Structure formats: C-alpha cells, structure tokens
Amino acid sequence: MAVTAPGFFEPQPLLSRLAAAAPRLVVACGMAVVMLTRQIDISVGSLFAWCSVVAGLLAGARPSPPLALAAAVALGAAGGVINGALVAGLRLPAIVVTLATLVTWREALRLYRQGVFVNLPEGLQWFGLPMRTGQLLVCAIALVVLCGLALVLRQLAIGRQVYAVGADAEAARLAGLRPRRVTFGAFVLLGALTGLAAVLNLVQSPQVDPATGRLLELEVIAAAVVGGVAVSGGRGSLPGVFSGFLLLTCISPALTYLGVKPYWDKAIQGLLILAAVAAEGIRRRKEPRG
C-alpha cells in the first residue's frame, strides 16, 4: 500500500478521513459490547439521527453547546433504555425489537422533520476550535472511548461479566451474576455512545441531515464482525474491533488510489465481511471438538 500509493499516507487527508469515521468507531465499541452479551442492535442508525437532530435544534435555540451535547447523550441513553427494557425485561428477541425501533424512530423523525435540514450555529463547528485541532480532538475522544472500554472489558469485574453472560447466560446466572441487568446495561451504554457519536459527527458539518445515520448499523456490525467479535456472544475484543474499523475505513480510499472505481465499494465491503466470517468459520472447524 505504502509503495503503490504514497499519497494515501499524507497526514492531512488521513486525519480528515479518520475524524469523519471516528463517530462510527464510537458506535462500533458500544455495538461490540452488546454483541459480546449475545444480543444485537440494528436501531443505532435511527437513534443516531434523532440525537443529531435534537442536539442541533437545542444548540440553535439556546447557544449553550455543552447542554445540547449532553442532551444528545441522554437521549441516546434513553433509546438504549427502551431497547434494553424490551430485550432484557420482556425477554423479546433483540433483532426483532431493534428492527421495530429502527423503523419507528426513523419514521417518527421523518414525520417530525419532513426532511428539513437543521442549521447549526457558527460556534459549534469543531467545538469552536480551529479545524485541525478539532479533528484531533474528535479522534482523541473516540480513542479515549475505545481504550477506556477496552480496559473495562479486560480488567474490571463488570467487563468480565459481559463475557460470562454472552458465553452462557444460564451459567452466569448460576454463578451469581445478573445476566438481564448486564444485557440491559449493554444496551444503555450503546445508546449513550450513539448519542456521543452523533455529537462527534455534528461538530463536523454546518447542517444536520435528518436522514443521517442510515446503514450505520450495518457499518458498525461489519466493523465488529471483521474485528473478530462472534455473533454467538462471548468472544471478541475491542482492539480487534479497532482493526476491523481501520480496515473497513481505509479500504475504499485505498482502492481509489489503486485505480478501482468507487462504485465497487459496497461489493468489496460485503466480500470483506464474508472473508472475515468465513476465516472464523474455518478456524472453528479445525479446532478439536470439546
């Protein structure tokens, strides 16, 4: 890569690209936690749009950006509470619950905004900092989230509980854990991180498109899966998610440098996910059966 396309590694476009993708990394971290508990959430894209729009409106109405940003995180967490209550409380299947919330939130937002963009106040862009510092700050926040969660998952008891619940919820319950609380917490965490990601995305543009976040769920699930998080729960790590995210983020600009037309993007992303899961499947097959 470095040999064939030296332009790819020039710092400025690389930084812009990473800053633009940083929100996805934040959501992917939360998604990884939910997937570790053997659940899934496909409603993050709609929630992301709601958080962006509400934060944008609040920031425009009353120029107190910190408040608006906090509201986005709180709204995200509230969305997570609803998903978590339905999945962990009523024991409904996560894929169907989040399918329902995906449709409901998206359509409610469409009804509410009618496709009108939200204009953001001047001072909000890059948190009021110069562009370069702002980009660095966005990337730094995403990295802090990544490293913090990685440490929690590896080192703290609550992190190990996530793995225990995902590997075998019944065994975890017999060992004295509260699987439903852990699952609920994972959904709330993902919701809050979705709100944070919406903020990180918000500060990069002068407007909010109410249709933002479409297909976000696919991108972040893809990053988690390519990074080795098992859909069957209990296996995977955040450094893996980070590498999956980097691979998926860099693949399309990298291919452009190599002369592949951009309309092949989606097909190549699909092939990459397939290759990653197929490798995982073959590896699992070779393992001796326990």
Partner 1 sequence: MSRPKSSPAASRLRRASRRHEWLLLGILAAEVLVFSLAGRNFLTADNIANLVRHSTEIGLLALVMLPVILTGGIDLSVGSLLGLCAVVFGSIWRDWGWPWPLAAGGALVVGALGGGFNASLISGLRLPPLIVTLATYSLFRGLAEALTRGTDAFTRFPESFLFLGSGRVGGIPVQAWILGGAAMLLWLSVHRMTWGRSWRAIGFSPEGALHAGLPVSRRVVTTYVVAGLAAGVAALTYAARLGTAKADAGTGYELAAITAVVLGGASIFGGTGTVAGTLLGVAIIAVLTNGLGRLPATLSIAGELSGLCTGLVLLAALAGSAFSDWWAGRSSRCRGATPGDGTAPTPT
287 counts as binding partner 1 under rule CB under 8 A: no
The SS3 of residue 104 is helix
The SS3 of residue 118 is strand
107 counts as binding partner 1 under rule CB under 8 A: yes
Which of 11, 267, 287, 290 is the binder for partner 1 (CB under 8 A)? 267
- Radius of gyration over every alpha carbon of the chain, rounded to an integer in angstroms: 19
In the complex, least distance from residue 282 CB atom to partner 1, rounded to whole angstroms: 7
Residues 6+ apart with CB under 8 A from 252: 262, 265, 268, 269
Q: Is the Cβ of residue 110 or residue 173 nearer to partner 1 in the bound state?
A: 110
- In this structure, the chain runs to a length of 290
Which of 114, 122, 176, 290 is the binder for partner 1 (CB under 8 A)? 114
212 counts as binding partner 1 under rule CB under 8 A: no
Which of 225, 234, 240, 245 is the binder for partner 1 (CB under 8 A)? 225
Terminal CA-to-CA distance of the chain, rounded, Å?
41
Binding mask 122-161 for partner 1 (x = CB under 8 A): ----------------------------------------
HEC profile of 208-243: ECCCCCCCHHHHHHHHHHHCCCCCCCCCCCHHHHHH
Give the footprint of partner 1 on residues 16-45 (CB under 8 A): 40
Which of 222, 223, 238, 241 is the binder for partner 1 (CB under 8 A)? 222
Q: Which range, of 119-127, 165-173, 197-205, 263-271, touches partner 1 by CB under 8 A?
A: 263-271
Distance between CA atoms of residues 84 and 78, nearest Å: 10
- Give per-residue burial for 1-36: e unless 16+ CB within 10 Å, then b: eeeeeeebeeeeeebebbbbbbbbbbbbbbbbbbbb
Q: Which of 226, 220, 222 lies closest to 243, judged by CA?
A: 226
Q: Which range, of 21-29, 60-68, 162-170, 261-269, touches partner 1 by CB under 8 A?
A: 261-269
Binding site for partner 1 (CB under 8 A): 40, 86, 90-93, 95-97, 99-108, 110-111, 114, 218, 221-222, 225, 231-232, 261, 263-271, 273-274, 277-278, 280-282, 284-285
